Structure 1
Amino acid sequence: MTTVTLHSSAGKWVMVTTILASAMAFIDGTALNVVLPALQQSLHASAAELFWVLNAYMLMLASLILIGGSLGDRLGRKKVFMTGIFVFILGSTACGFAGSATMLIIFRMLQGIGGALMIPGSLSLITSSINENERGKAIGTWSAVTTLVTMGGPVLGGALADAGLWRYIFFINVPIGVAALVFLAWKVNESRETEGDQRLDFPGAVLTAAGLALLTFGFLRMPSLGFGNPQVYGTIAGGILLLVIFVIVENKSRHPMLPVRLFSNLTFTGTNLLTFFLYAGLGAGMLFLSLDMVQVQGYTQLQSGLTFLPFTVLMILIARFTGSMADKYGPRLFLVAGPCITGAGLLLLSFVKQTAGAKDYWTTFFPGIVGLGLGMSLTVAPLTATVMGSVSDHLSGTASGVNNAVTRIAGVFANAIFGALAVLFFSGAVQREIRSLPLNDPQKDAVVAQTVNLGNAAVPADIDPAHHPMIRKVHKDGFIIAYGRIMQLSAGLAFLGGLMGFLFIRKQPATG
């Protein structure tokens, strides 16, 4: 397949279109975290519905993203990429008009279908189109710019939420998506594989979609039902069984959607394990950090978004340079140091207790966020380039689909497991603190029951107003305890990611 240089006209248009489409999806994710309190209030959503607004998208994305990557390799990367963008635009428009939490959850699923076709296509187009010697730099550029735009999401989300315009988080995707479609149609050539068997692997597609959907759904139901519920352990077990059958079928298939031999490559396996642990820790950490700032520390949603600017600045300054350095010296050092520094940042953030609000930011949250930004700046471009460079070019879409699926499943895992743990930690802390309050047992039970709403826990209506300040303090103190433990667990996952880099990544990635 003919490749182009990064500085050629064709190379620049590949970068512009992939960055636009990726930014559209990533803005949506980061901005949504910040507007959750406003969205919850506007739609009268429960905490469970709030998590489903996040996770309905993740459910469809995780279930279908392997199929999206494989379809791009077989049917044409540009064609599948454009289809995904179009579906994502439709889903975003519908989300913007949603009148209830239930409708928003349904339309987020449509966004997820679009994302599954769109997200693998961006990296696959870069990998298949850009000259091999400049691929790390190209992915570094993609990482830096998309992260810049992505981290602008919380600022934008905060401003819109404070103005009562949270719906525009979804509407803003429409012009970005339309621009990407126009540029793709006029300026980017189609890219597809012509070698080997190009037939679609329908048994593999059905098995992977059903297996990932059951596994994801089980994790998502865990916070509200507990692992002992048949709906939870039954769907998780069913998902694992279908994925085992999927591996067996793919191993015997003449045209597998996912060649199992990819996982015999230790670099490919190691980078995906690193991705899982790092993004599970980061996803949980970022979510609970946003909730803590807005619901407990008294930040406005705009202030909460602005606190991530150091992260953005570090990504701009470092990510592209890191991609070039990894091309030159190999990715191993970056993929050990980066996750460990990210873990150190999460650990620092776990020690932040009650503050006086945004005026205390520089001496409380700022050092930890710098750690997050520095760690991820060192990690993102080398990690992506190593995943894509560890396989042959004709499997670039599949490799991107696998790595993105791992990222999304890590996010779902983190939201589900850590969401359940946060309620457990929170309720335990409140139960201990409330013993000394002058309340009867039913009132104490009602106060503890509010912990399912996390930072949005309210004082029950039938309690004497004189006791309200004490109960609010108990809720705040209990949430901060839960937040600290979740951040420490998140840090542990990031450190595990660094261990995967140490164990599995060679100095130079091997192609196979």
Structure 2
Amino acid sequence: MTGRAWGVLLVLCGAIFLEGIDVAMLNVALPSIRADLGLSTGVLSGVVSAYVLGYGGFMLLGGRAADLLGHRRMFLLWLTIFLVFSGLGGFATEGWMLLVARFVTGVAAAFMAPAGLALITSNFPEGPSRTKALGVYAGTAAGGFSLGLVAGGVLASFGWRWVFFAPVILAAVILVAAMLLVRDTGGDRPRGGFDLSGAFTITAAMLLLAYGVVRLERPGDGPALTAGVFVAAFLLLGAFVAIERRSSSPLVRLGILRSAPLVRVNAAALLFMLAFAGFQFVATLYFQELRGWSTLQTGLAMLVIGIDTVLAPTLTPRLVNRFGNAKVLFGGIVCAAVGYLLLLPLSMDWTYAAMLPALFLLGMSFALSYGPLTMAATEGIAEDEQGLAGGLLYTAIQFGMALGLSAVTAVSAAAGGGLEGLRAALVVPLAAAVLGALIVASGLRSSSATPGEPVRDAPSEHPATTV
């Protein structure tokens, strides 16, 4: 690749790294935030949930907006909004200020992430060049999730507000570089305008789904209301499908969902992130609340998972070129399942050396899985639907993370909390990883993947199309 191409790639990688590290750093800093602002458990949970609501609720709209209004334009606009509201979160003195800041930051990420992924796929031609670019991009994203735990521990030791201020500095650098380097490829945009009725319906449905998932964390808190939220969400989804079938300019072309490979990829992404988010929450409670470790010690304990930052952009693209997406992805999810299995006998007297093999396997799983998921989610998709494909992928990832957090919280509470509760909760990541591996295995014999129907671009003959 040319020097300019590397510059564009590094800028876009910086943005997705920013999004991942922002989420991970906040999770580590939550105990410090609660202590300083005197937040209740409900408000503290809401700080995490607000981001999920904004991200999950607006992701599909964000992906389609990128296709219709321009990938570069939407990327720069929402990166700026991300920067501003992350900074405002750092100045918060009340719980409601954090809730607003995190919600808007989540909305900004929902528009920014699919636009960034679409810029990657549109700036690098399909084949080895795109595989390499997506490998580096996905590796950086995975590194944000894992290294964010370490960075959050370090920054929180100086004060939790730095968890908000540090992303502002990084976002400002990325924004300036993006304005100078990133260009739209000039491809045709979809004809027609916004499907406003579809946009309002799907956004309301996704917001309700995200809210319902968040409510699952507290199974005793109004189960009838929780059920009502899900019923309303599914009714709105039904209305959305009816609207899209009649629309001349649909927000989501329903044909793109008829592809079994595309459905498999997004289901695998949801389960993979469900497992990791659940594990991350359990590990944080185990290290800090049961073992009494500091945020810095917790972050350093997770450092080995950051091995994916090195392996994902270097090793994974080579493996994909040789074996194809499906086999590499299957190996990555199996690594995760074995890692979670090794953690099941968790005890209070475990040495770090006893935990290390499992943590190493989780780092390997991220290195082998995140890139192939990203590559497969956009493989064979027409240029004017790359934003939509990215929106589907990141919707699956975000809802997976929300479901993982809710599931382990509910299982731990049902098991009585404490060490026994955490042991029981670790079954959730294991079950999700096993199911994800089975879903990927069901597509191992596919010789090609053609996401979407009809696919307006001819599918590539590259091995990456085997998911």
Q: Is the TM-score greater than 0.5?
A: yes
Paired letter, 1:145: T
CA distance in 1 between counterparts of 2:380 and 2:409 reads 34
Runs of 4+ in 1 over 4 A off after TM superposition: none
Structure 1 stretch displaced more, 227-236 or 371-380: 227-236
Alpha carbons 2:326, 2:440 under 8 Å: kept: yes
1:405 aligns with 2:400: no
2:421 aligned residue (479, 482, 495): 482
Alpha carbons 1:136, 1:323 under 8 Å: kept: yes
Alpha carbons 1:284, 1:411 under 8 Å: kept: yes
Paired letter, 2:87: T
CA distance in 1 between counterparts of 2:259 and 2:56 reads 23
What is the aligned partner in structure 1 of residue 324 from structure 2? 330
Could you tell me how far 1:510 is from its partner in structure 2? 2.8
2:149 aligned residue (154, 162, 166): 154
1:224 aligned residue (218, 221, 226): 218
* Residues 228 and 178 (structure 1), Cα distance of their counterparts in 2 relative to 1, 3 Å cut: closer
CA distance in 1 between counterparts of 2:236 and 2:166 reads 38
Paired letter, 1:76: G
CA distance in 1 between counterparts of 2:325 and 2:215 reads 37
CA distance in 2 between counterparts of 1:65 and 1:196 reads 18
CA distance in 1 between counterparts of 2:256 and 2:303 reads 38
1:119 aligned residue (113, 128, 144): 113
1:40-189 equivalence runs, <5 A:
40-133=34-127, 134-163=129-158, 165-189=159-183
What is the aligned partner in structure 1 of residue 461 from structure 2? none
Structure 1 stretch displaced more, 20-29 or 62-71: 20-29
Segments of structure 1 that go 5 or more residues without pairing to the other structure are: 1-6, 427-477
Deviations 1:136-167 (A, max 9, x none): 1111111223333443222221122233x111
Alpha carbons 2:137, 2:313 under 8 Å: kept: no
1:380 aligned residue (367, 370, 377): 370
What is the aligned partner in structure 1 of residue 359 from structure 2? 369
Paired letter, 1:484: R
1:283-298 equivalence runs, <5 A:
283-298=277-292
TM-score of the superposition, structure 1-length normalised? 0.84
Deviations 1:357-401 (A, max 9, x none): xxx2112x2111111111221111111101110422221110000
Paired letter, 2:443: F
Could you tell me how far 1:177 is from its partner in structure 2? 1.2
* Residues 218 and 328 (structure 1), Cα distance of their counterparts in 2 relative to 1, 3 Å cut: same
Alpha carbons 1:136, 1:324 under 8 Å: kept: no
Q: Percent identity?
A: 25
CA distance in 1 between counterparts of 2:156 and 2:180 reads 36
Deviations 1:298-330 (A, max 9, x none): 221111101122211244124432123213431
What is the aligned partner in structure 2 of residue 472 from structure 1? none
1:492 aligns with 2:431: yes
Q: Which has the larger radius of gyration?
A: 1
Structure 1 stretch displaced more, 479-488 or 416-425: 416-425
Could you tell me how far 1:227 is from its partner in structure 2? 7.5
1:414 aligned residue (397, 404, 415): 404
What is the aligned partner in structure 2 of residue 432 from structure 1? none
Deviations 1:158-188 (A, max 9, x none): 122233x111111111121111221121222
RMSD: 1.8
Could you tell me how far 1:347 is from its partner in structure 2? 1.9
* Residues 368 and 393 (structure 1), Cα distance of their counterparts in 2 relative to 1, 3 Å cut: same
What secondary structure sits across from 2:343 in the alignment? helix
CA distance in 1 between counterparts of 2:282 and 2:248 reads 45
Structure 1 stretch displaced more, 8-17 or 96-105: 8-17
What is the aligned partner in structure 2 of residue 510 from structure 1? 450
Alpha carbons 2:312, 2:371 under 8 Å: kept: no
1:353 aligns with 2:347: yes
1:425 aligns with 2:365: no
Segments of structure 2 that go 5 or more residues without pairing to the other structure are: 456-467
1:202 aligns with 2:202: no
What secondary structure sits across from 2:217 in the alignment? helix
What secondary structure sits across from 2:298 in the alignment? helix
1:312 aligns with 2:306: yes
CA distance in 2 between counterparts of 1:196 and 1:186 reads 26
Paired letter, 1:362: A
